[in-house]
Chains A and B, each alone.
Chain A
């Protein structure tokens, strides 16, 4: 299979990594699933290019990067709205988020700040090729493995791309993708279900949790979103024995200021979990900017399952898998 360098990193941006849909099934050796913080955008971007949902792409955070194209490719920017232009030898034109574009050898893709949301995913027809580890090409920054040498991209890095699977979607698919994704990713009232340790909090703390508009701390990353407001702590009478954690779990440490666990969360933890963000709103969670406000909206587990199924149904209608 032909695979040569297609992109060369000129500027990587702020926190730019290779991500796919992650590596499920390794929690018992301490490895969380990880993968794209906004998996919905990754899947939509891949569908626009006729890739498999799980094809690897480049996830950029807050500030995009600049890439020199060394081989003709078709790509799309998905997720947070990003300023992007394609610089050719004589001409420059803009690339809109959600609209697939061609990038020819010798051209540069220059992306700047991410405005609507916090993460933009650069998908390429054929997918980013790095050696899979534990069944995934995702970068595990904490474990320093996966992706490109287990780290963020750096200037000079060569990015290899696989063979495209077919013709890329037409222009109307990009418009459908945008119409579908934007409202889902813009939600800042996140649907959540009661957490496993809800009973360890007094009713005032639980009430505060569901009614507070939280400001997201600047100290937030792929591991967790830290929230600035205090809801009060759990009555545990000592430390809680460590137990399994999950993407979207809202942990409350002694400080009373919740931490929402993200894709690269520790597999186990010792803080009580007051609520868990529903799977349908995890992509929106991955698009919350530090400094933004979020709140939580209570739903039952049954409703959370329905919401997820509804979203999958819409996705399959609007952008079917090939």
Chain B
């Protein structure tokens, strides 16, 4: 039996969930391994595998308890993972451009974030829009992408207590992560901008605009441009 790497740890997280730990959460190599392993596991069509939840350094696999043979499932997963090592050729990386308004009502937490770092609002927007981010994984809520690559000088802790309702499309910071709220709901990340793009739509294929591994660039737009795009969206239905 060929193991993917000595670092991959297998443990049953429940009687139906196998948890794979693939390395250090902070490392880009680990994130890359998680992505390749996820793709391999999804492509392998393992019997009884009903759910794959990738994150920074782990993959949680859900199996159907009907007919589950735990040992055989672990063997099948190991085999699929070793295949993912051989299949090194990374598919072409997508670059996704996201228009973001960093102004006024789109950025309710920007003044405080800027103050905390002793910078002006335009600098905060410039710093946030400067890097090319990498989508580590989609998780938490539908279409929510965890983006790696936030400049450390604007890393900011979460709000002391979460907002009850975050406007959909809000671009937010929490610690050294940034992300875009793709569906409305509660959230504790700090809102520093907003995109007019629809980030998740269950009627579309694929439903989420972002996918793990994508590169993301934020393109600053004015409030007038944001409002024009939102109006256009309403007309499109």
Which A residues lie at the B interface, using CB under 8 A?
Answer: 24-31, 33, 133-134, 140, 142-146, 193, 195-196, 239, 241-246, 248-249, 266-269, 273, 276, 278-279, 301-302, 304-305, 308-309, 312
Contact = CB atoms under 8 A, between A and B. Distances in A.
B138 A28 contact: yes
Interface string B82-110: 00000000000000000000000000000
Contacts of B120: none
B15 A308 contact: yes
Interface string B10-48: 011111110100000110000000000010001000000
Contacts of B58: 243-244
A304 B16 CA distance: 9
A25 B55 contact: no
B189 interface: no
A127 B65 CA distance: 25
A219 to B, nearest CB: 12
A201 B224 CA distance: 51
Interface residues of B, number: 50
Interface string B44-83: 0000001111111111101001101010000000000000
Given A243-B60, A267-B140, 12 more contacts: A24-B50, A24-B62, A143-B202, A195-B13, A243-B56, A244-B19, A246-B14, A268-B139, A276-B13, A276-B15, A276-B17, A279-B15
B169 to A, nearest CB: 14
B220 interface: no
Contacts of A29: 138, 142-143, 200, 206-208, 211
B141 interface: yes
A142 B15 contact: no
A241 B202 contact: no
A155 to B, nearest CB: 23
Nearest to B66: A312
B60 A146 contact: no
A276 B42 contact: no
Nearest to A278: B15
Interface of B: 11-17, 19, 25-26, 38, 42, 50-60, 62, 65-66, 68, 70, 137-144, 146, 175, 182-185, 200, 202-203, 206-208, 211-212
Nearest to A27: B53
Given A29-B207, A134-B207, A268 B137 contact: yes
Nearest to A303: B15
A30 B182 contact: yes
B15 A28 contact: no
Given A30-B208, A242-B55, A269 B140 contact: yes
Contacts of A142: 141-142, 183, 185
B55 A266 contact: no
A267 B139 contact: yes
Contact of A246 (B42, B54, B62, B139): B62
A138 to B, nearest CB: 11
B202 A28 contact: no
A246 B13 CA distance: 9
A278 B203 CA distance: 33
Contact of B16 (A144, A241, A279): A279
A28 B138 CA distance: 6
A268 B62 CA distance: 13
Contact of B50 (A25, A273, A276): A25
A196 B182 CA distance: 29
Which of A140, A146, A244 has the largest count of B CB atoms less than 10 A from its CB?
Answer: A244
Which of A30, A269, A309 has the largest count of B CB atoms less than 10 A from its CB?
Answer: A30
Given A29-B207, A305-B70, A273 B143 contact: no
B182 to A, nearest CB: 7
Contacts of B17: 244, 246, 276
Which of A25, A29, A33, A279 has the largest count of B CB atoms less than 10 A from its CB?
Answer: A29
Given A25-B51, A29-B143, A244-B59, A193 B65 contact: no
Nearest to B54: A28
B140 A266 contact: yes
7 contacts: A24-B50, A28-B54, A193-B14, A193-B15, A248-B14, A266-B139, A308-B65
Given A28-B42, A142-B141, A244-B55, A276 B68 contact: no
